[in-house]
Amino acid sequence: MLPVLAIPVFYIATWASALNDPSSDLPTFGRPLNNLTVSVGREAIFTCIVEGLGPYKVAWLRVDTQTILTIANHVITKNHRIAVSHSGHRTWSLHIKDTRRNDSGWYMCQVNTDPMSSITGFLKVVVPPDILDYPTSTDMVVREGSNVTLRCAATGTPEPTVTWRREAGGMIRQEMSSIEGPELEITRVTRVHMGPYLCIASNGVPPTVSKRIVLIVHFKPMVRIENQLMGAYEGQTLTLECDSEAFPPPITYWIRSWNETITNDENYKVDTFAKKKYEVTMRLIIKSVRALDFDSFRCVATNSLGQTDGKIKIYKLDDQPTTRKSGVRRDSKKKTDRNYEKKAAGMKDDPLLKGGDSGDELIEFQSATASSALHRHLFTNLGITAVILAVGLST
């Protein structure tokens, strides 16, 4: 129910002449007064259409404060943001400039008939959301395993809804990518919770606003090694790697088994590069493995919370296989020629050479006499033994 407005005596007196004229036709309102919704700072305009105004006058009033704002073309209130305009004495407009939150309320367009005629409309001034500096959280540093609460205080009209998200996406909690509410509670914080969070406030009035809060998790170093035992030949290039997780970022270095720190020189190159926000890879390149390198190397990571190391042992491999001598393997044409020579000489297969074990290994042996040299080559392949005898006459 609308409140009953008590009109001041001086207002009634200004309309006395119109009320004393019984022959006047009473004016009517052309349409209801529309309700308005405007953003704070914008101009609100109520429009009142009066048909057949005649000698009567139009006034604008603020209902809840019982304040006369305008009468006809005159502004009565001392509020400099209020103005009135009309078109042909039919369309009357109330202008409220630079609206403020406390301008919200009921407004009345009134005609001084007897009885009084009036229509009312409601002004709603909406305010975009805003995030307060306090008690909204700032960037926070916590130890891994502790509990933390992030806070976001937002104001606006209507009251904003606060939503939490991770800036880079991903889950805040299991199967939850967003959480509503002014507080975000995380229990038993781990390193995976580290990173920026967004507090987003919205109430349907643009623009939506957000604040970035970075959660920093401190934890002591840990080291992970994929290959703890590596074989190498002397002279080859070898790369050793360790992955370390720590925050604050660790100081990293390599040491030998006798605690000598390895630095960059003509045979060693030490390098460290980041993989994630809290993970680094430590790399040691041995350009040419020497005898003293067949030993243990340790990668060390240390920060203000502790120190951790990992060990990689290098062992020596047998010498690399050499290339076979030329002429040991012969093509099929040479084999055919030698078989032909054997048959031409009337030689038969030696039963002592049959039935050898199968394999891919070539066995070479020789026997010699005073008058001749017998070279025998035994080839085995897929269990089939072929014997080629070559007779060389002494010169």
- Give the pLDDT score at 298: 98
Confidence of residue 253 (pLDDT cuts 50, 70, 90): very high
Residue 280 has pLDDT above 90, yes or no: yes
* Same domain membership, residue 120 and residue 46: yes
Answer whether residue 335 shows pLDDT above 60.
Answer: no
In the chain, what percentage of residues exceed pLDDT 90? Answer: 70
pLDDT tens for each residue of 66-98: 999 999 999 999 999 999 999 988 999 999 999
In a domain, 349, yes or no: no
6 backbone dihedrals φ, ψ, rounded to 5°: -90, 110
Residue 257 has pLDDT above 70, yes or no: yes
Out of 316, 346, 373, pick the residue that ends a domain: 316
Where is pLDDT greater, at 212 or 12? Answer: 212
| Closest C-alpha among 221, 219, 220, 227 to residue 311 | 227
35 with 122, same domain: the answer is yes
Asked if pLDDT for residue 344 goes beyond 60, the answer is no
Residue 386: pLDDT band (50, 70, 90) is very low
The total of other beta-carbon atoms located within 10 Å of residue 373's CB is: 13
The DSSP bridge pattern shows strands 209-224 and 140-143 to be parallel
Residue 391, pLDDT above cutoff 70: no
Residue 336 reports pLDDT greater than 90 = no
Residue 169 is predicted with a pLDDT of: 87
149 — pLDDT class (breaks 50, 70, 90): very high
Residue with tokens 């400099």: 80
Residue 2 lies in a domain: no
- Residue 289 token pair: 């493995």
Give the model's pLDDT for residue 346.
Answer: 47
117 domain-assigned: yes
Integer-rounded Cα Rg, in Å, for the chain is 49
CA distance 51 to 166: 59
Number of compact structural domains in the chain: 3
pLDDT of residue 175 exceeding 90, the answer is no
Domain check: are 70 and 137 in the same one?
A: no
Contact 221, 306 (CB under 8 A): yes
The answer to whether the CB of 257 falls within 8 A of the CB of 214 is: no
- What mean pLDDT is reported for the chain? 82
Q: Are 298 and 255 in contact (CB under 8 A)?
A: yes
Is 296 part of a structural domain of the chain? yes
Q: pLDDT tens for residues 198-221?
A: 999 999 999 999 999 999 999 999
The per-residue pLDDT for 334 is: 44
Nearest-angstrom CA–CA distance, 317 and 233: 5
Phi, psi (5° rounding) for residue 68? -80, 125
DSSP labels, 292-354: GGSSEEEEEEEETTEEEEEEEEEEEPPPPPPPPPTTSS--HHHHHHHHHHHHHTT----GGGS
Residue 13 maps to a domain: no
Q: Is the same domain home to 119 and 33?
A: yes
pLDDT digits (tens, 9 = 90+) for 178-202: 999 999 999 999 999 999 999 999 9
Q: Residues 230-255: what's their mean pLDDT?
A: 96
Q: Domain limits at 195?
A: 132-218
| 157 & 102 share domain | no
Give the per-residue pLDDT at 192.
93
| Residue 68, both tokens | 């006369």
DSSP state of 191: G
pLDDT in the model for residue 88 = 87
> Do 82 and 54 sit in the same domain of this protein?
yes
DSSP state of 173: B
Q: What angle do CA 123, 128, 130 make, to 5 degrees?
A: 140
**What percent of the chain has a predicted confidence (pLDDT) above 70?**
75
The gap from C-alpha 311 to its chain's centroid, in whole angstroms, comes to 34
Closest CA relative to residue 56, chosen from 73, 72, 69: 72
In the DSSP assignment, the letter for residue 114 is: S
- Residue ending a domain, choose from 316, 335, 355: 316
- C-alpha–C-alpha distance, residues 331 and 354, integer Å: 22
* Rounded Cα distance, 155 and 98, in Å: 20
Pairing of strands 58-62, 67-71: antiparallel
DSSP string, 5-34: P---HHHHHHTHHHHT-TTSPPPEESSPPP
Same structural domain, 138 and 122:
no
The number of helices, as runs of H, and strands, as runs of E, in the chain is 3, 28
Report whether pLDDT(349) > 70: no
Strand pairing class (372-381; 384-393): antiparallel
- What pLDDT digit, counting tens, does each position of 352-373 carry? 333 444 333 333 333 333 333 3
Does some domain include residue 22?
no
**Cα separation of 142 and 216, whole Å?**
6
- What's the pLDDT score for residue 389? 31
Q: What is the pLDDT of residue 194?
A: 94
Strand bridging mode 306-316 / 229-232 = parallel
Residues 83 and 111 in one domain: yes
Same domain? For 159 and 210 the reply is yes
What is the average per-residue pLDDT within 167-172?
Answer: 87
61 is written with which tokens?
A: 């009033």
Do residues 312 and 230 both lie within one domain?
A: yes
Nearest CA among 52, 87, 92 for reference residue 72: 92
Is residue 240 included in any domain, yes or no?
A: yes
Residue 303 lies in a domain: yes
Q: What's the CATH number where 58 sits?
A: 2.60.40.10
pLDDT recorded at residue 322: 59
Range 325-350 average pLDDT: 45
- Summarize the confidence of residues 152-162 as an average pLDDT: 97
